[in-house]
Structure formats: C-alpha cells, structure tokens
C-alpha cells in the first residue's frame, strides 16, 4: 500500500513539473493586439514620447499600441500591473524579445492610417538623429527612411531602437537595435532582440517583467501589434566564395550570401591574411583593389550584430597578376 501511494505521488509530482514547465516556457506572448488595459498593461510616455491605444492598426489582433518616439530618451512606456514571468526565457541562450511593428505609409496601396498629427519637441527638426550610433562601422547596411503616409500625417521610420526592460526592479537596456527596412513586408516588421543583448544585472528567478520602454533615434510614430519572446537558434552559415584571377589595379567586387535565422548579420572582410586578420571592409557586397601581384587569402567573417551566435568564417584565394 505504501509503495503504491509513493508511486502515485511521484506521478502527480511529475505531472505538476511538466505543467509548470509548460506555463513558464521560454516562448511567452506578452501582448497580442488586445485592449492593453484588459491584460493589465498601462500605457504612458517617457519624456515627450507616448504610448496610445490604436484601434485601426491591429496586426495580430484588433488593436495596437501607437508608439511615439522623439529621440533616444523620449518614447513609449508600458507598465505591467500583472508582471510577466520571463524566467525560462532568460535562462535560454537564444531567447529573444520580439516586437512586431507596422510602419506608417508602408501598408497596402490606398490604406488609410488615421494617426494623430504629432510634432517633435520644440527646436528639434523631424528626422534628426537624436541618439548615438557609436560602435557601427562605416557602410553599415541598416537604416531607416521616410515613409509616404496616405493618412493624416507622415513620420520617418527610425533607424535604430533603444529598448529598456525593467525586470525585478532592475533596468536592462538594449542599445542601437537596427531597423532593417529590407525586411519590412507590407509595412510590418518583427524585430528580434536577443535577451543577451540587454545590458544590466541579469535577473534571478522569478524574472518578472514590470515595465517596457521603447525609444527611437528620431521623431517617429509606428504601431506595436505584438510583443512576445521566441527562440532563434539557427546557426550562422555563409556560402563559399568564388576564386578569382585578377590583375593589379582592378577593382574587384566580392559578393557574399549568409543565413542566420532572424539575426541581423554583419559581414566583415580582410583582404590579406598574411598580415593578420583585420576589419578592412563591411557589408555583403564590397570592392577592393590589389596593388601588388601574388596570391592573397581573403577572409570573410559573418556575425550577428549582438554577438550572441557563433560567427561563420570562409576564405578564398585570389591570384593577382601584374597589370
């Protein structure tokens, strides 16, 4: 009898652990287009920014949160009266915070956006890059552009976001997260920010999200339709480069293709391995002129911008003849 009771208790304990694991999974939906007040989200602003309910620009649900930014220290504030448990997400290496956004003027042809006209703080011209962009090399392939709204106002797309989470009372900040406009489809973009990109004291269990603040590097208005966590563990791979025979003085073009899941990728080139691997050019397509004849080992390293995943590397030999 005692042995049977012990077995039953063990089964119940296992079922409880499985159930608890399912509830506190690394993939959590934080907001999905509901009326924010119905799920315990209080909208507000930081500085001259704002977060407002918008009932016309839903993405995954009937509503969205209208985000108004005015530089890296004015933006939208979301307070969670029911803090969201992100413990398992923070414990998972490749967990990301995912922001799904709609940008004004980039929807279907003829779509009306019905936004409230908004102007930046006094003395600040629209489109001014209020925040720093340090740490990114020349030719970095990401950046925003102005949208042509069919609604009542126009707004530039931010080039970078600054996202702040308050977890267990401590601030975690992800700086300079690029908006890659080439990934915007029908006006919608899902931006994946690795939790490891957030700088600050990593939370202990339970890791309770209490506040989320979203800033842009310029005056901008866009619509936040979904907030969730997700896993992006696809490794970075790069296709082999083609060997070439060229002459001194030729302008040689190199083109690379790489994959890395949802990660934004950075391409870093070195054109002569004999003097050490250096960062001599950036981008998927670059050009270089070899001044002396000989065989050169060209090295390409592809890495994610937040340095979370293992970089991919490939090399190719270029034979250079005297002109």
Alpha-carbon span 102 to 104, nearest angstrom: 7
CA proximity to 106, closest of 173, 164, 185, 40: 185
Looking at residue 91, the DSSP 8-state letter turns out to be T
pLDDT at 113: 37
- Please report the pLDDT score of residue 155 as a whole number: 75
Q: Is the dihedral of CA 148, 149, 152, 153 positive or negative?
A: negative
Name the pairing type of β-strands 75-85 and 50-54: unpaired
Q: What is the CATH number of domain 25-231?
A: 2.60.120.260
Contact 130, 149 (CB under 8 A): no
Distance CA 320, CA 244 (A): 8
Helix (H, G, I), strand (E, B) or coil at 17: helix
- What are the extents of the domains in the chain? 25-231, 237-321
CA distance 231 to 233: 6
Residue 62's CB is within 10 A of a number of other CB atoms, namely: 12
- Which one-letter DSSP state was computed for residue 265? E
pLDDT in tens, the chain (323 residues): 445 444 444 444 444 333 333 344 789 999 999 999 999 999 999 999 999 999 999 999 999 999 999 999 999 999 999 999 999 999 999 999 999 999 976 544 333 333 333 233 333 333 333 233 333 333 333 333 333 223 334 578 999 999 999 999 999 999 999 999 999 999 999 999 999 999 999 899 999 999 999 999 999 999 999 999 999 999 999 999 999 999 999 999 999 999 999 999 999 999 999 888 889 999 999 999 999 999 999 999 999 999 999 999 999 999 999 98
Same CATH fold assignment for domains 25-231 and 237-321: no
- Of 162, 189, 153, 184, the residue nearest 59 (C-alpha): 189
| Number of Cβ atoms within 10 Å of the Cβ of 119 | 11
CATH 2.60.40.10 assigned to domain 237-321? The reply is: yes
Q: Is 1 helix (H, G, I), strand (E, B) or coil?
A: coil
């Amino acid at each position: 009898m005692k042995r049977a009771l012990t077995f039953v208790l063990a089964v119940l304990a296992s079922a409880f652990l499985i159930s608890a694991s399912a509830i506190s999974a690394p993939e959590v939906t934080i907001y999905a287009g509901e009326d924010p007040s119905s799920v315990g989200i209080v909208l507000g602003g930081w500085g001259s920014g704002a977060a407002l309910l918008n009932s016309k620009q839903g993405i995954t649900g009937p509503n969205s949160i209208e985000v108004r930014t005015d530089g890296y220290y004015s933006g939208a504030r979301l307070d969670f009266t029911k803090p969201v448990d992100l413990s398992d997400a923070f414990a998972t290496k490749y967990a990301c915070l995912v922001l799904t956004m709609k940008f004004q003027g980039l929807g279907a042809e003829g779509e009306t956006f019905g936004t409230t006209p908004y102007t930046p703080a006094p003395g600040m011209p629209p489109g001014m890059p209020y925040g720093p962009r340090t740490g990114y090399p020349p030719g970095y392939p990401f950046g925003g552009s102005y949208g042509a709204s069919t609604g009542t106002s126009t707004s530039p797309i931010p080039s970078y976001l600054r996202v702040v989470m308050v977890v267990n009372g401590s601030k975690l900040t992800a700086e300079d997260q690029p908006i890659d406009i080439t990934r915007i489809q029908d006006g919608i973009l899902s931006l994946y920010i690795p939790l490891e990109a957030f700088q600050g004291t990593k939370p202990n269990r339970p890791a309770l999200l209490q506040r989320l603040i979203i800033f842009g590097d310029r005056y901008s208005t866009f619509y936040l339709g979904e907030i969730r966590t997700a896993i992006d563990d696809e490794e970075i791979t790069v296709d082999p480069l083609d060997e070439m025979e060229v002459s001194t003085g030729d302008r040689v073009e190199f083109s690379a293709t790489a994959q890395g899941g949802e990660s934004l990728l950075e391409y870093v080139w070195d054109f002569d391995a004999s003097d050490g691997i250096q960062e001599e050019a950036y981008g998927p397509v670059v050009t270089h002129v070899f001044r002396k004849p000989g065989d050169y080992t060209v090295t390409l390293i592809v890495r994610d911008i937040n340095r979370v995943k293992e970089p991919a590397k490939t090399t190719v030999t270029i034979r250079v003849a005297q002109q």
